Amino acid sequence: MNAPRSFTPKTFRPEDDGPDRPARGLDEEALRQQSTIYREGMLDGKTLLVSGAGSGMGKAAALLAARLGANVAICGRDPDKLQSTVDLVRDEVGTDVLAVPTNIRDPEAIETLIGTVHDHFGGLDTLVNNAGGQFPQDAIDFSRKGWLAVIDTNLNGTWWMMQEAAKRWRADGKPGNIVNIVANVERGMPQAAHTCAARAGVIYLSKTLATEWAQWNIRVNCIGPGVIETEGFRMYPEEALARFHKANPMKMRGNAWDVAEAIAYLASPAARFINGDLIIMDGGQAQWGVIWPAGIPDYFREDGAA
Ligand SMILES: CCC/C=C/C(=O)SCCNC(=O)CCNC(=O)[C@H](O)C(C)(C)COP(=O)([O-])OP(=O)([O-])OC[C@H]1O[C@@H](n2cnc3c(N)ncnc32)[C@H](O)[C@@H]1OP(=O)([O-])[O-]
Ligand SMILES: NC(=O)C1=CN([C@@H]2O[C@H](COP(=O)(O)OP(=O)(O)OC[C@H]3O[C@@H](n4cnc5c(N)ncnc54)[C@H](OP(=O)(O)O)[C@@H]3O)[C@@H](O)[C@H]2O)C=CC1
């Protein structure tokens, strides 16, 4: 029998970044160079609110939406990260992004956020719930605070955003569109059980709301990314990162732009009949491999899992 696996929480924290933990994913220069399959002006006159848009997929989605003509509002906790997205879009596209620092765990702050977006742009067409995250750890060792932090962010935070946006759409008699970024949870997520529970909750919440809210012309869909290399990867030990891409049969990592293009599709008129669905973007991982974000335990090494 394996000895209990110990875990030092401080080890993988983003603030521990240093020269030995390099930046991950598409940097701003790479983002600027991405091309898109979509036509110019595809999102003209549309307003998108993207949470967690100070980095990673949210930043890419904000840039692409702005490039396609949308009004873009963003939120996240760290104002400096949000400002980096504002600056990138202004420099690259020439438009102003509305940045509203907001913790999605705070429902009152979300009420203010949704109101601010409506006041500024005169409405909201697509809400992208991308903010979220977790830390890698064997479930048996989760602290109570850690469990609650992940559930509160990924499940409750996403719900507060959805409910507040929908209340406003119903009151205004306007159609709405929600895209929730979740994860690939079909076969569970070892060493990420907290986020697996939260994301599974969001997926089935979304399917339920897609029915309940159809009467107000509000669509709700999810995107389930697999291994997408972003700044968020700094949270994981090198040992795990070295194996992440081996968990899908294509043996590759996706990038933030892949997800941004899927978000743009769901925000476009081409997706008007898609409701209650989950788009998995994982190179086939769901059918095959397993990610061990805290490192593969001895018990699973011998049988060659993933
Ligand atoms: C899965 C593979 C594929 C997925 C990839 C991605 O999603 S990539 C994108 C991923 N991007 C991200 O994931 C980025 C966003 N992630 C986050 O912001 C955090 O991981 C969060 C979701 C826990 C929020 O936390 P927060 O704002 O509340 O900040 P806080 O720091 O105060 O933590 C609260 C408590 O959680 C606990 N705890 C925290 N860390 C660890 C740890 N390493 N170890 C153990 N426990 C840990 C601890 O109990 C802590 O309290 P303490 O002991 O300090 O008093
Ligand atoms: N990269 C991957 O392989 C995968 C990622 N995902 C999920 O996709 C989403 C985007 O991830 P990715 O771009 O990779 O990672 P990042 O860590 O770069 O982005 C997550 C963003 O969420 C924001 N955020 C976190 N907590 C809160 C909060 N309480 N309130 C407001 N904003 C918050 C963070 O900003 P700030 O710290 O400023 O608040 C950050 O900008 C996340 O939900 C992630 O868990 C799912 C599957 C795989």
Residue with the nearest Cα to atom 33 of ligand 1? 146
In this model, does residue 301 exceed pLDDT 90? no
Residue 26 domain-assigned?
A: no
232 in ligand 2 pocket by Cβ < 6 Å? yes
- Say if residue 293's pLDDT is above 60: yes
The answer to the question of residue 31 being in a domain is: no
> Whole-angstrom Cα distance, residue 173 to residue 78?
33
280 located within any domain: yes
Asked, for residue 18, whether it belongs to a domain, the answer is: no
| Closest ligand 2 atom, residue 228 Cα | 3
Which of 145, 234, 248, 291 is the best mutation target for the ligand 1 pocket, counting ligand atoms within 8 Å of the beta carbon and taking the most?
145
Question: Which pTM was predicted?
Answer: 0.94
Ligand 1 neighbour 12 (Cβ under 6 A): yes
| Residue 73 DSSP symbol | E
Beta bridge partners of 51: 75
| Residue 4 domain-assigned (yes or no) | no
Mean pLDDT over each residue of the chain, to the nearest integer: 92
Mean pLDDT, range 225-236, rounded to an integer:
93
Looking at residue 3, its pLDDT comes to: 39
| 246 inside domain | yes
Assign 225 to helix, strand or coil.
Answer: strand
Per the domain annotation, does 118 fall within a domain? yes
* Residue with the larger pLDDT of the pair 129 and 245: 129
pLDDT in tens, 84-132: 999 999 999 999 999 999 999 999 999 999 999 999 999 999 999 999 9
Give the chain's domain count.
Answer: 1
Rounded to 5°, the CA angle 55-279-14 comes to: 25
Has residue 5 got a pLDDT over 80?
Answer: no
The verdict on the CB of residue 148 being under 6 Å from ligand 1 is no
Q: For residue 198, what is the domain's CATH number?
A: 3.40.50.720
Domain span at 45:
38-301
Vertex 136: Cα angle to 135 and 141 (nearest 5): 100
Ligand 2 centroid, distance to 130 Cα (angstroms): 6
ipTM: 0.98
Please report whether residue 21 resides in a domain: no
State how beta strands 254-255 and 278-281 pair: unpaired
